[in-house]
Structure 1
Amino acid sequence: MMKDPVRCAIVGCGAVADEYVRTLEGSALVDVVACVDVDMERARAFAARHRVPHALGLDETLEEGYAELLIVLTPPGTHIAVAQAAVRSGTSVYVEKPLALTGDDAAGLLTLADRHQVLVGGAPDTYLAPPAASALTAIAQGRIGKPTAASAALLTAGPERWHPEPEGFYEPDLGPLADMGPYYLSQLVHLLGSIAQVDAATGTTVARRTIRSGNRAGQVFRTKAFTHVEAVLRSAAGVTIALTVSSDVQASTRPHLEIYGSEGTLVLPDPNFHQGTVRIRCRDQSGWTDLPTGAERSGHPVGRGMGVLELAAALRTAEPHRTTGCQALHVCRILDAIREAAVTGASVQVTLDRPSVSTRRAAP
Structure 2
Amino acid sequence: MGDEFDDSDLPDPSLKNIIDQKTLQWVFVGGKGGVGKTTTSCCLGAQLAKTRKKVLIVSTDPAHNLSDAFCQKIGREPTPIQGFDNLSAMEIDANQDMDEMQRQMEEEEDQTGGGIGNIMGELSNSIPGIDEAMSFSELMKQVQSLDFDVVVFDTAPTGHTLRLLSFPTILEKALGKVMELKDRFGGLIGQATSALMGGGQNPAQAQDALLGRLEETRAVINKVNDAFQDPTLTTFVCVCIPEFLSIYETERLVQELSKFGINSHNIVVNQVLFPEKDAEELSEWFEGNKDNLPKEAQEICSKMMARKRMQDKYIGQCFDLYGEDFHVILMPLLDYEVRGVEKLKKFSELLIDPVDLEE
Place the TM-score, normalised by the shorter chain, in its bin: under 0.3
Larger radius of gyration: 2
More helix by share: 2
State the TM-score, normalized to the length of structure 1. Answer: 0.21
- Structure with the higher fraction of residues in strand conformation: 1
TM-score where L is the length of structure 2: 0.22
**With CA pairs under 8 Å and 6+ residues apart, which has the higher RCO, 1 or 2?**
2
